[in-house]
């Protein structure tokens, strides 16, 4: 698994051994970032259920200003830190504007720091039905001052999400039991 685009393109990503994480595929990340286009430049991101950190790291490679990774698994959080060091070296920039929180994305306070422009959410598929309502409810508060912020949510193709107060803008991928990504934005109040 590697960074698929931007300045750090080709940098290999460290992924924890075993089934602790299910990294977003290179192809899916390419499709997501092609869809995001210029929205990534100078953006701040929040990467929830970050796993290897692939989404946030890809954003940094493509020009994001900084952000926060939230990952509960200590081994995966360690991988994110190592990946961050490799990407930072490739970018030739100090990544002080990036934080790695070893915490549960379902309960960690999301209101600290700058309001993100992009939120990447890639929970274990078996948890989506339980965690999605609470995460979207919390994000509604966090993103209240930034209605243009995008939420990028990876989920299996057979699952539909329709969180109240959010509008589905686009869905990438197709087929049951295949990864897909849904782009959401808050409905105007």
Which residue ranges form the domains of the chain, and what is each CATH number?
Answer: 28-186 (3.40.50.150)
Work out the pLDDT band at 146, boundaries 50, 70, 90.
very high
Distance, CA of 102 to CA of 52 (rounded, Å): 12
Distance, CA of 80 to CA of 112 (rounded, Å): 20
Q: Residue 28 has what pLDDT?
A: 82
Q: Residue 131 has what pLDDT?
A: 94
**For residue 107, how many other CB atoms are within 10 A of its CB?**
10
Q: Residue 149 has what pLDDT?
A: 96
- Residue tagged 């994001």 (tokens): 64
Burial class (CB in 10 A: 0-12, 13-18, 19+), 21: buried
Burial class (CB in 10 A: 0-12, 13-18, 19+), 65: middle
Question: At residue 122, does pLDDT exceed 80?
Answer: yes
Instruction: Please enumerate in sequence order all residues whose Cβ is within 8 A of that of 128, keeping only pairs 6 or more positions apart, or say none.
Output: 155, 156, 159, 161
Work out the pLDDT band at 11, boundaries 50, 70, 90.
confident
Question: At residue 116, does pLDDT exceed 90?
Answer: yes
Question: At residue 10, does pLDDT exceed 90?
Answer: no
Work out the pLDDT band at 13, boundaries 50, 70, 90.
confident
Q: Residue 19 has what pLDDT?
A: 60
Question: At residue 18, does pLDDT exceed 80?
Answer: no
Q: Which residues pair with 185 in a beta bridge?
A: 167
Question: At residue 161, does pLDDT exceed 60?
Answer: yes
């Amino acid at each position: 698994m590697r960074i698929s685009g931007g300045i750090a393109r080709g940098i290999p990503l460290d992924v924890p051994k075993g089934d602790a994480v299910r990294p977003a595929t290179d192809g899916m990340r390419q499709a997501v970032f092609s869809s995001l286009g210029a929205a990534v430049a100078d953006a701040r991101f929040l990467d929830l259920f970050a796993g290897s950190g692939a989404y946030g790291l890809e954003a940094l490679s493509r020009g994001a200003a900084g952000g926060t990774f939230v990952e509960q698994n200590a081994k995966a959080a360690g991988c994110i830190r190592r990946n961050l060091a490799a990407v930072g070296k490739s970018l030739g920039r100090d990544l002080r504007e990036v934080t790695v929180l070893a915490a549960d994305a379902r309960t960690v306070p999301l209101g600290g720091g700058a309001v993100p422009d992009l939120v990447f959410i890639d929970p274990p598929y078996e948890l989506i039905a339980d965690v999605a309502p609470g995460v979207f409810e919390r994000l509604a508060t966090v993103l209240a001052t930034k209605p243009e912020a995008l939420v990028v949510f990876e989920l299996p193709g057979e699952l539909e999400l329709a969180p109240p107060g959010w509008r589905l803008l686009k869905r990438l991928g197709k087929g049951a039991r295949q990864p897909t990504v849904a782009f959401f934005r808050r409905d105007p109040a």
